[in-house]
Structure 1
Amino acid sequence: MLSILDKYILKRYLGTFTLLLLLFIPIGIAVHLAEKIDKILENEVPLMEVLIYLYNFTIYFANLLFPLFLFLSVIWFTSKLANNTEVIAFLSSGVSYSRFLRPYLIGATIVCIAALGFSMYLAPKASKGFNEFSYEYLKKGRKDRDQSNVYTQINKNEYIYVSYFNVAEKIGSNFTLEHFEGNKMTYKISAGQIKYNEEDSTYSLFNYRKRIIGENEDILQTEHKLDTVFAFTMEDLTPVTYIAETLNFFELNDFIEKEKARGSSYINRYEVVRYKRWSLPVSAYILTIIAVAVSSVKRRGGMGLNLAIGISIGMIFVFFDKVFGTMAEQSDFSPLVATWFPNFVFAILAIYLLRNAKR
């Protein structure tokens, strides 16, 4: 059963967090809309599509920054408790610091469970709508999706490579397809240029060459232009880098396994997305403990000093999260370590601050 103290603090915990979200999300929408309004008007985007886009942006924005909002909300209302000497009254009545912390942890559990469900199912759908709208209307669609040095396994026996693929023109340069039987290459197709024909889903190969590898000698076939079909789609030549963000929990796990089998070069990027869906909700506990430890002590500088300390710690957490996530995406650094390292470091900080606060 929850005591009066638990209900009082839990109500303030969830209420302040919700209020902060309701205050900052409209600001985020206004700033984002002001930045993009010229392109929206230039492309004459229908009003309904703009409203759906803003709805998706709201979910995307809230999911991305909820740890920071939670952290600031806990510091805000706990500092008010401390300034009103309510914390001192609680502890002086015989309530231990650990007991005082219990409703905060209950609140963190509620937020963590909600954030897990949010990031696993609702946020991916919103991310898909947000990104598709951005590419369709705000980035002129396609240039940002052009791909360089795409090398991927399309099935058990075949690998494709293209040095550059222009999405707008559907034209690629330096295309190769290698076919293997076991560990032995049986033939290789290459072309100076490949063009996808959308009307009949065929490909045109220019300066086509096919080398069939024989036991004693190879057979070489050449054509200036050859129209043919392949067992891969244009999406294999232009993998969408944000695709992992648009998949729910089960879809993402299946997608990563398939991409590993195909030898995708974006595995680390997909793994970072998967692990962050767990690490960010768990950070609710760590940031809550740090926020309580920092703000439950009445300071000479008052609430302003607590907020300044809190904002500094929150920005450092976001910085760590972004830097290590980018490091894992762009190198061989472990995505698991990259996504959980900020939580590990700040968990140590939380333990240290909590011990000092108890004294």
Structure 2
Amino acid sequence: MKIIDLYIIKKYLGTFGFMLGLLTIIVLVIDVQAKAPRIESNGFTVTEFLINFYPYWIVNLIITFMSILVFISVIFFTSRIANDTEIVAIISSGASFHRFARPYLMTSGLIAIFALLLNHYVLPLANIKKNELEPYTYTTMAREEFTGSSEVSTQLSKTEYIFVKSYNKKEKRGSGFIYQKFDKNRKLIYQLNATDFNWDNSKKLFILNNFFTKTINKDETEKLGNGTVMEKSFIHPPEELFPDVLLGQNKTTPDLIKFIDREKEKGNGNLNNYLNELYQRTSMPVSVIILTFLGLSLSSQKKRGGLGVNLAIGIALAFVFVFSFEALKVVSANKTLTPLLAMWLPNLVFGPVAVYLYFKRANQ
């Protein structure tokens, strides 16, 4: 059976590689044409983006659609060998359906392991490069969220807070700065105000200009102070003090876990976007195995209508799978479901279905 194993593995990987290359080329051409006017209106050239943005964007694209491409690839090549009665010949030779399915398990397992490594360690590094330029492909309103100025605030610990009236994430500078510290009874004991501030990347410090301090003593007396320039550390850089939704994508899994733990210690309860990112990195690769066996079960029998019917079913299910992940991200971000349940729910639904259909097919 080793010959059959190699034959199935070759068909699996060959079809998957072809689908992956085809999707990449089509989506790349469409995306470049759609975003070229925005890119050029922001002072860049399409060539610059083809070199500095799209290679990293493609890595993200591959990871996002890997499980779906696997599913469609399995349905495509399995339907072809089923219509050519090759599966009937293999089963008739004495091999069980479970034995026939072994190369599917081996190949999907290897792809899943590869996807896990990419998701947890490689994709975040690609996202750092991608996310530097991605805001310049957005509409003007959406881009302002990442490159414009806005009011921000953060909680440094259970007793420390920062409020900024206007902060520019791109330039890492802002105005209307307030830092407040409270005691265990929630009473204000220290406040620092500054008219404006900026981040000094060489010193890894915040530079506060025209500052004013107020210290409240235990006897309710106040000590006031002021000055022109103050250098101050708040332990973390501004991108972590004032994180945006893209920050989680830029961190490898160990760093992302540390960031989430740190935010929990500070008392930050708005972490679902980062938890979604963390749990999806594992759930998506696992779905490769689930969808492989679902595809095998649906397409390993010769059907009236042949390849076209199987592909139609596969594409429909693939759409439902992708849509469910994106919809559940929104549901989780709104705190309707926990991130762990939301990111694993598609697998919890499709997994039992795949198992049922697989054993039903094996017992026929």
TM-score interval for Structure 1 and Structure 2 normalised by the shorter chain: 0.7 to 0.9
SS of 1:202's equivalent in the other structure is strand
SS of 1:14's equivalent in the other structure is helix
Q: What are the residue-to-residue correspondences of 1:209-220 with 2, within 5 Å? A: 212-219=215-222
Closer, same or farther in 2 for the Cα pair 1:78/1:194, shift >3 Å?
farther
Separation (CA, whole Å) in 2 of partners of 1:335 and 1:147: 28
SS of 1:144's equivalent in the other structure is helix
State the 1:306 CA deviation.
0.5
Closer, same or farther in 2 for the Cα pair 1:40/1:338, shift >3 Å?
same
- Residues 236-282 of structure 1, C-alpha deviations (whole Å, 9 max, x = no match): 55313212211223222222222322334542211111111111111
Which residue matches 1:75? 75
Letter in 2 for 1:282: V
- Residues 132-164 of structure 1, C-alpha deviations (whole Å, 9 max, x = no match): 0123576679622255553321x5753223466
Closer, same or farther in 2 for the Cα pair 1:243/1:10, shift >3 Å?
same
Unmatched segments (≥5 aa) in structure 2: none
Which residue matches 1:64? 64
* Correspondence for 1:338 among 299, 322, 342: 342
Which residue matches 2:11? 12
Which residue matches 2:47? 47
SS of 2:163's equivalent in the other structure is strand
Closer, same or farther in 2 for the Cα pair 1:30/1:46, shift >3 Å?
closer
Separation (CA, whole Å) in 2 of partners of 1:70 and 1:17: 6
SS of 1:242's equivalent in the other structure is coil
* Correspondence for 1:286 among 284, 290, 297: 290
* Correspondence for 1:171 among 168, 171, 174: 174
SS of 1:44's equivalent in the other structure is coil
Question: Is 2:114 aligned against 1:109?
Answer: no
State the 1:23 CA deviation.
0.9
Letter in 2 for 1:10: I
SS of 1:321's equivalent in the other structure is helix
State the 1:168 CA deviation.
6.3
SS of 1:203's equivalent in the other structure is strand
Q: How many pairs were matched up?
A: 352
Asked whether the 8 Å contact 1:196–1:234 carries over to 2, the reply is no
Which residue matches 1:28? 27
Separation (CA, whole Å) in 2 of partners of 1:194 and 1:288: 59
- Please report the TM-score for the alignment, with normalisation by the length of structure 1: 0.86
Percentage of matched positions with identical amino acids: 31
Asked whether the 8 Å contact 2:159–2:186 carries over to 1, the reply is no
Closer, same or farther in 2 for the Cα pair 1:237/1:106, shift >3 Å?
closer
Separation (CA, whole Å) in 2 of partners of 1:323 and 1:172: 37
Separation (CA, whole Å) in 2 of partners of 1:68 and 1:166: 38
Separation (CA, whole Å) in 2 of partners of 1:142 and 1:150: 20
Which residue matches 2:144? 143
SS of 1:125's equivalent in the other structure is helix
Q: What are the residue-to-residue correspondences of 1:1-359 with 2, within 5 Å? A: 3-42=2-41, 43-45=43-45, 47=47, 50-135=50-135, 143-145=144-146, 146=149, 148=151, 150-153=153-156, 158-162=160-164, 165-167=167-169, 170-172=173-175, 175-183=177-185, 185-189=187-191, 194-197=195-198, 201-204=206-209, 212-219=215-222, 221=224, 228-232=230-234, 233-236=237-240, 238-331=242-335, 333-358=337-362, 359=364
Closer, same or farther in 2 for the Cα pair 1:55/1:313, shift >3 Å?
same
Separation (CA, whole Å) in 1 of partners of 2:298 and 2:127: 34
Separation (CA, whole Å) in 1 of partners of 2:3 and 2:86: 14
Closer, same or farther in 2 for the Cα pair 1:238/1:255, shift >3 Å?
closer
Asked whether the 8 Å contact 2:174–2:198 carries over to 1, the reply is no
SS of 2:53's equivalent in the other structure is helix
- Residues 283-311 of structure 1, C-alpha deviations (whole Å, 9 max, x = no match): 11100011011111211111111011111
Asked whether the 8 Å contact 1:74–1:292 carries over to 2, the reply is yes
Closer, same or farther in 2 for the Cα pair 1:303/1:143, shift >3 Å?
same
SS of 1:299's equivalent in the other structure is coil
Closer, same or farther in 2 for the Cα pair 1:344/1:198, shift >3 Å?
closer
Unmatched segments (≥5 aa) in structure 1: none
SS of 1:165's equivalent in the other structure is strand
Separation (CA, whole Å) in 1 of partners of 2:70 and 2:309: 18
Asked whether the 8 Å contact 1:159–1:177 carries over to 2, the reply is yes
SS of 2:208's equivalent in the other structure is strand
State the 1:49 CA deviation.
5.1
SS of 2:232's equivalent in the other structure is coil
Q: CA RMSD in A?
A: 3.0
- Residues 42-95 of structure 1, C-alpha deviations (whole Å, 9 max, x = no match): 313383553131211111110111111111000000010111111222222222
